[in-house]
Amino acid sequence: MRKVLALAAAASLAGCATMPAPSRSARPAVVPGAMQFLYGSAEAAALSEQAYNALVDNVRLRIAGPRPSESAIVLPADGAPVAASCGDKPFAAVFDMDETAILNLGYEYNDAASGAAFDAGRWARWEAGGADKVVAVPGATAAFAALRTMGVTPIINTNRNVAAATETADALARAGLGSFVHGETLFLKGDADGKSAKDGRRRAIAARWCVLALGGDQIGDFSDALEGTPAARRVAASSPPYAARWGRSWFILPNPVYGTGLGSGWDDTFPADKRWTDMQGAK
**pLDDT tens per residue, range 82-94:** 999 999 999 999 9
Average pLDDT, the chain: 91
Structural domains present in the chain: 32-256 (3.40.50.1000)
Picking from 166, 109, 96, the residue whose alpha carbon sits closest to that of residue 137 is 96
- Give strand ranges (E) for 88-239: 91-95, 102-103, 135-136, 153-157, 186-187, 210-216
Residue range 67-125, pLDDT digits in tens: 999 999 999 887 778 999 999 999 999 999 999 999 999 999 999 999 999 999 999 99
Each as own residue / partner, the long-range contacts of residues 69-74 (CB below 8 Å, 24 or more positions apart, any chain) are 71/206, 71/209, 71/210, 71/211, 71/212, 72/211, 72/212, 72/213, 72/214, 72/245, 72/249, 72/250, 73/202, 73/203, 73/205, 73/206, 73/211, 73/214, 74/222, 74/223, 74/225, 74/241, 74/242, 74/245
The bridge status of strand 153-157 relative to strand 186-187 is parallel
pTM above 0.75, yes or no: yes
